[in-house]
Amino acid sequence: MTIRTIMMVVMTLILIYVVWDTAKYLGLIGNKTASKKAVRDIRKEQSVIKNRARVIKTVVFLTWVDENYGFKVNTYTREDLSTRIKRLNIKVKSLNRHAKVTELLGVFKTLSFLGFLATSLIFFTVGGLFTLAPIPFIFTRQLFVWLSDYTLYAEDIEMEQEFGEFYFTLHSKLMSDSPNRLAPFIKDFIDAHNSMYHKRDNAIMYRFAIDFITLLELYQDDTLALKELRKKYTSVTFINFSNIAIQRLQGIDNRDKLLSYAIELQRKTNEKIEVKASKAIFKGTIAIYAIFFLVIKYVIFAIYLKAEVMLSFT
Amino acid sequence: MFTIVKIIGVALAFAVIVLYNRKLVKFVAKSGTGVENLIGRTLGRQLKRLDDYLERQTTLANNNVYGKISSYYNYILVNLELKKDRITVPTFIVFICILTTGLTIGVLVFTANILLSLASFFLFFYLITVTFNFLALLRYEKREGMIMDVEDLLSMGIGRGVKNAITVYTPSIHPLIRPYFEDFLDDINHHGKTFNASMDTLNHNLGDGFSHFSRLAKQYEAKAEKGSENMFSPIIETNQRKRDVRQRVNKRFSELKTNFMLAAACVFGFVFFLVYTDERGRELILHNTWGNISLLTDVMLIAFVQGVITTLKAKFLQ
């Protein structure tokens, strides 16, 4: 491709732009933005209404499946699933609420049924290893529990490392002679976090603080809110905190325990720094292995050149 | 005959230029200013719009693509202290694009190969961005140390209030970041800004490293109860540990970097050897478009790994 061709292409592009811009200026094209926007908004609203109706139908169907088919699930499992739904923030977006346990169980039962059906069909038609493919669908509930355990465990670890910052905002209040009414301190924590420019850090503690303040506003009692919060968060650090804090809120003088808890949290923060350093060094070492890619590439290239020379001799 | 016509033509043109010199210069100057104004107006308006758009996207949700791009370049601007000169993210990106386009045109003129020029455009864009990022990360490490020193100073004197502590310790702060603290005091004392708004500006100027302290400072100022200054005491211990770990990690990373650069030098030595000893190799690497692009990719890969190592080293404490 010569320079002349490139110049021709560039000139053509400029010409097209000039024609398009002039047509736009003269009002020949793109002059109906407002009406288009109105039409778009109406269509969007209609699609939202349709989607909502569809979701309601699905939800009703799933509840019906759970109530009428399969084995009945005991209360303990239902409570466990309810906690998981809240912690994993599983929402029905169109209805703007958390999913219900019956709906989730409806999904599991439907998938199990479909999985069983597919397994039987494949077994009697194709057979062989293909039969194994839909088997995981039969155990959807178990899979969900297993996967959510993994996620929740990772979240708990993160919470244990980040809990120190939250705790030290309450420490002075809990150490004082009147440790009740934690809400203003948690509100300050949330406000300070909300106005931050760099919001990404400490997200788990932010969510935790929001949950805490919601429960405090609901029950108007610090002890009750902490007890309710324990149902949702299973991190060991938080459980320890809630035990000590409940004691303190009930008037027991356990300030020495609070102090040793603070020291423990500081130790965890230090550990976190060490872990971060080790991870960075490990990743850096791995990144260096990229050079092997270049070495292999040029060795293959050299072999190719040699082979070409040898072939030309023969 | 033709030569005579040429000479007469040149003489006439010279005469016209001499005769209408002032008019010509005026015309050129006018048209120049007009074009400059037009470009400035159009480009300026577009840049302003883009800047507003990025700011809005980042504020709404900083997890989307625009937010990520904006925060990446904003980070470079903050650490290179270009914010003081009112350089925004879009203008910075446009600057890099112009630089890249210039270099690409150079490659296009030199090689007359459109595919290679296209590849070199991406390479130059990436290399320039990585270079700026590299410089920003080097500065970041230094700034991190300075910020930790400030945090330690302020935490020890927090009993009298955050603003008072800043007023007392401003002369002891490192000159590179001291202007931001002076601006903070100026905002409160002379511009009537609230403590929280001024602290936000200070945090925005100092970057991520100051976020924790700034959050605690706002909480402390909102409800300065007796004993609540205790919430600052872990900062001193954490910073002490961070300094210790930083020293160890820096040593380890300098070893890693040396190893990597030696390995890269060996690879390029091998390529050099191939090019100067084997005619076919020379042809394939230097006089073939795909060979050239492959060489550019190698440079890009080395720059990428270098960038990854520098980023890991600088930001592991975040």
User: Which stretch of DSSP H or E encloses residue B235?
Assistant: helix B233-277
Residues of chain B with pLDDT > 90, as a percent, come to 1
> Measured between alpha carbons, how far is B4 from A295 in angstroms, rounded to an integer?
66
Share of chain A above pLDDT 90, in %: 7
Q: Which residue has the higher pLDDT, B318 or B162?
A: B162
The DSSP element (H or E) to which A98 belongs, if any, is strand A97-98
Q: Judge whether B208 is closer than 8 Å to chain A, CB to CB.
A: yes
Q: Which of B231, B261, B313 to mutate to test the interface with A (most CBs of A within 10 A)?
A: B231
Q: Are A196 and B214 in contact (CB < 8 Å)?
A: yes
Judge residue B139's burial from the number of C-beta atoms within 10 Å of its C-beta, 0-12 exposed, 13-18 middle, 19 or more buried. middle
Q: What is the spatial distance between Cα A99 and Cα A148, in angstroms, rounded to a whole number?
A: 15
Asked if B118 reaches chain A (Cβ–Cβ under 8 Å), the answer is: no
Contact with chain A for residue B300, Cβ under 8 A: no
Of A169, A198, A279, which is closest to B211 when you measure between CB atoms? Answer: A198
Q: What's CA A234's distance to the chain center, in Å?
A: 18
Which A residues in the span 195-214 are in contact with B, Cβ-Cβ below 8 Å?
195-201
Counts of helices then strands in chain B (DSSP H, E): 12, 0
Interval B85-120: pLDDT, tens: 777 888 888 888 888 888 888 888 887 777 888 888
Q: Looking at the complex, does the CB of residue B62 fall below 8 Å from at least one CB of chain A?
A: yes
- Sequence-ordered list of residues with C-beta below 8 angstroms from that of A155, at least 6 positions apart, any chain: A87, A204
Tell me, yes or no, if the pTM score tops 0.80.
Answer: no
pLDDT greater than 90 at residue A57:
yes
Per-residue confidence band for B137, with pLDDT thresholds at 50, 70 and 90 = confident
Rounded distance between C-alpha atoms, residue B96 and residue B94, angstroms: 5
Q: How close, in Å, is residue B12 to chain A by CA atoms?
A: 31
Burial category of A66 from C-beta neighbours within 10 Å (exposed 0-12, middle 13-18, buried 19 and up): buried
Long-range contacts: B72-75, Cβ < 8 Å, 24+? Answer: B72/B133, B75/B136, B75/B207, B75/B208
Q: What pLDDT digit, counting tens, does each position of A26-49 carry?
A: 666 765 666 677 778 888 899 999
Does residue B31 carry a pLDDT above 70?
Answer: no
Which pLDDT belongs to residue A52? 92
Band of residue A50 on the pLDDT scale cut at 50, 70, 90: very high
Nearest CA in chain B to A172: B228
d(CA A276, CA A17): 52
What is chain A's mean pLDDT, rounded?
Answer: 83
Q: Which of residues 144-173 of A touch B (CB under 8 A)?
A: 164-165, 168-169, 171-173
Average pLDDT over residues A91-115: 88
Test the A interface: residue of B115, B144, B215, B286 with most A CBs within 10 Å = B215
* Minimal C-alpha gap between A255 and chain B (Å): 13
Chain A positions touching B280 (Cβ under 8 A) are: 305, 308-309
Please report the ipTM that was assigned to this predicted complex: 0.70
Cα distance between residue B208 and residue B238, in whole Å: 16
Measured CA to CA, the distance from residue A191 to residue A228 in angstroms comes to 23
Mutate to test the interface with A, among B305, B311, B313, B317 (most CBs of A within 10 A): B305
Considering only CB atoms, A277 lies closest to which of B200, B237, B249, namely B249
Does residue A285 sit at the B interface (CB-CB below 8 Å)?
yes
**Confidence class for position B45, pLDDT limits 50, 70, 90:** confident
Q: What is the rounded distance in angstroms from the CA atom of residue A237 to the CA atom of residue A267?
A: 12
Task: Name the burial class of residue A202, with classes exposed (0-12), middle (13-18) and buried (19+) by CB atoms within 10 angstroms of its CB.
Answer: buried
- Show the tokens assigned to B44: 């300026």
Q: At residue B297, does pLDDT exceed 70? A: yes
Please give the Cα distance from B181 to B217 (Å, whole number): 14
How does the average pLDDT of chain B come out, rounded?
A: 81
Write the pLDDT tens digit of every residue in A144-166. Answer: 889 988 888 888 888 888 888 88
Instruction: Check whether B220 has a pLDDT greater than 60.
Output: yes
* Residue with more model confidence, B77 or B36: B77
| CA–CA distance, B14 with A112 (Å, rounded to integer) | 92
pLDDT attached to residue A219: 87
Q: Is A181 exposed, middle or buried (0-12, 13-18, 19+ CB in 10 A)?
A: exposed
Alpha helices in chain A, H assignment, sequence order:
3-25, 33-68, 75-88, 101-124, 135-138, 140-175, 183-194, 203-219, 222-232, 236-249, 255-288, 290-313
Q: Which contacts of B153-157 are long-range, i.e. CB under 8 A and separated by 24 or more positions?
A: B154/B213, B154/B232, B155/B213, B155/B232, B155/B233, B155/B235, B155/B236, B156/B236
